[in-house]
């Protein structure tokens, strides 16, 4: 029961941070640290997908060494790839699981088990949140649900920050607009310079 209450406190803490912060970096930093503390595990990392390279790039990490974080390019197609498409994936033994891209590096880092869940923003998978343990760990349903909830909140934070930035940029554009008579000479379209996130009818979701 104590662990469950701690998880609720962590959820409330991160939810409050999302509602007050306009900086997604601050939220993901709090997310990885809070998960590591709440579950008493070795570490946690937030990856974001680079669509042009199909790579998973570290956005924030806690509890892991720089050597492990910089071990090499992480592929969305090779590193626990199914978790990005099908949902949470738990790996009990990193030494004997073909779904890992860098099993030897994981063993050297002192990692025994990994839980990977997708991060969704605007209806699209944008990354993965991964939890690392030092001892073999049978992740319970409560563990998975808690980590998945934290991943959803991280995705929400990114989406909120994107909309906030689009709104802020649009306001600045409106402030700097001059006399409407000058528009014709510049041949400006109604939405020229306005972020896509605030253009009516546009698909504003993260791709």
pLDDT tens per residue, range 139-161: 999 889 989 988 988 888 777 76
Strands (E), the chain: 43-50, 55-62, 74-75, 89-91, 113-121, 124-133
Give 120's strand partners. Answer: 125
In which band, very low, low, confident or very high, does the pLDDT at 185 lie, cut at 50, 70 and 90? very low
Query: What digits encode the pLDDT tens for the residues 4-50?
Result: 555 677 777 777 766 666 677 777 888 898 889 888 899 999 999 99
3-class secondary structure per residue, 154-171: HHHHHHHHHHHHHHHHHH
Q: What ranges do the domains of the chain cover?
A: 2-163, 165-198
The SS3 call for residue 36 is helix
Per-residue tokens: 207: 């791709």
Full-model pTM: 0.74
Side-chain-side CA neighbours of residue 181 (13 Å): 1
Homologous superfamily (CATH) of 2-163 is GAF domain (3.30.450.40)
């Amino acid at each position: 029961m104590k662990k469950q209450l701690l998880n609720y406190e962590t959820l409330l803490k991160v939810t409050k941070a999302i509602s007050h912060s306009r900086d997604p970096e601050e939220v993901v930093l709090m997310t990885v640290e809070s998960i590591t503390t709440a579950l008493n595990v070795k570490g946690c990392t937030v990856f974001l997908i680079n669509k042009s390279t199909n790579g998973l790039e570290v956005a924030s990490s806690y509890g892991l060494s720089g050597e492990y974080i910089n071990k090499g390019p992480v592929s969305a197609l090779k590193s626990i790839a199914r978790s990005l498409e099908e949902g949470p994936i738990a790996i009990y033994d990193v030494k004997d699981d073909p779904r890992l891209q860098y099993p030897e590096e994981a063993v050297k880092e002192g990692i025994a088990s990994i839980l990977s869940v997708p991060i969704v923003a605007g209806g699209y998978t944008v990354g993965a949140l991964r939890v690392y343990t030092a001892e073999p760990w049978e992740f319970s349903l409560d563990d998975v649900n808690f980590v998945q909830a934290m991943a959803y909140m991280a995705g929400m934070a990114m989406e909120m920050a994107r909309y906030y930035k689009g709104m802020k940029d649009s306001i600045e554009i409106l402030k700097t607009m001059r006399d409407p008579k000058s528009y014709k000479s510049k041949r400006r379209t109604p939405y020229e310079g306005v972020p896509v996130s605030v253009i009516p009818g546009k698909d504003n979701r993260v791709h």
